Structure 1
Amino acid sequence: MTNRLSENLVMECKKKLLIAKQDVLNRFRTAQREVIHLDKASGDEGDQSVAHIEEHSFLVAQERMRNQLLEIEMALSRIEQGTFGVCEETEEVIESDRLLAIPWTRLSIEGAEIREAVSRRFAR
């Protein structure tokens, strides 16, 4: 299905995905080094509370980075499989501008709107 997208577009998206992957890995390593230096055992209750809050923030950020890395890896896999750029919801080609802005996206604008409408309907 990738043949419906230009090879240049796919290669540009792959380049962006690899850069984004490296960025996420670098941010993860930096955050990991910072949390290692937290000393939760020392200080008064205020210091310990701040350390716990920082640790919680690290864990939330780590989960976000893990999810983003997973999306990037899945997009790279779709490039290799030849299914990159096809909306999971509508099975239509995802808009080029959208792919360039968010190369790991799995949904076209229309597909994202459909998913959002369905999730709102079931959230009630």
Structure 2
Amino acid sequence: MAFSKDFLMGQKEKLLKHKMRVMNTMKENYHTEVIAQTEDTIEDGDQAQIYTNQNVSFSLQKSSIKTLHDIETALEKIEKGNYGICEETGEPIETKRLEKQPWVRLSLEAQEELERQEKKFLRAA
């Protein structure tokens, strides 16, 4: 399935806007974390809360980094002419799915299968 030039340019614009949002959020989270760590008084009970906040912050940062990577991959695919192809099946990804999440790398069916496999793995562990 070949996408129109207008569709691809629209997707590129969405990707670039989302990239900026993610980067701004990461920057804000970093500054918030730095401020929290440099406060003068830390009571004993606050230490546990700081640790919890750091774990949450790390998880959010990790998720944001993955999203940025996926956005960069999608932008590269637009340039190379293979945008919208499922990395697992090689089949086209549904247009509606791409419109909702332009950086998506898998078709809905492939994503569902991946999630089933992850659940099986977690149950076995």
TM class by smaller structure: 0.7 to 0.9
Please say if 1:37 is aligned against 2:26.
no
Q: Deviations over 1:61-87 (max 9, x none)?
A: 111111111111111111111110111
Q: Provide closer, same or farther for how the CA distance between residues 4 and 91 of structure 1 changes in structure 2, counting only shifts above 3 A.
A: same
TM-aligned CA deviation for residue 17 of structure 1? 0.5
- CA drift at 1:42: 3.1
Aligned residues: 122
Whole-angstrom distance in 2 between the partners of 1:68 and 1:107: 14
Whole-angstrom CA distance in 1 between matches of 2:11 and 2:89: 21
CA contact (8 A) 1:40 1:48 kept: no
Q: Structure 2: how far apart are the matches of 1:44 and 1:119?
A: 40
With normalisation by structure 1, the TM-score equals 0.86
| Structure 1 pair 35–106 and aligned structure 2 pair: CA distance change class (3 A) | same
SS where residue 86 of structure 1 aligns? coil
CA–CA separation in structure 2 for the residues paired with 1:117 and 1:53: 30
Shift of 1:103: 0.5
**1:15-39 CA distances to partner (integer Å, 9 max, x unpaired)?**
1100110000000010011011113
Which amino acid letter does the alignment assign opposite residue 115 of structure 2? E
User: How far apart are the structure 2 equivalents of 1:40 and 1:54?
Assistant: 14
SS across alignment from 2:104: coil
Residue correspondence of structure 1 range 42-61 to structure 2 within 5 A: 42-61=41-60
TM-score normalised according to structure 2 size: 0.85
Higher relative contact order (CA 8 A, sep 6+): 1
How far is the alpha carbon of 1:45 from its aligned partner? 0.7
Query: Please, which moves more after superposition, 16-25 or 111-120?
Result: 111-120
4+ aligned runs moved over 6 Å, structure 1 = none
Contiguous gaps of at least 5 residues in structure 2: none
Give, in whole Å, the separation in 1 of the partners of 2:2 and 2:105. 16
Q: Residue 115 of structure 1 aligns with which residue?
A: 114
CA RMSD of aligned residues (A): 1.9
Assess if the C-alpha contact under 8 Å between 1:85 and 1:99 holds in 2: yes
Of all paired residues, the percent bearing the same amino acid is 33
Is the contact made by 1:12 and 1:100 (CA closer than 8 Å) also made in structure 2? no
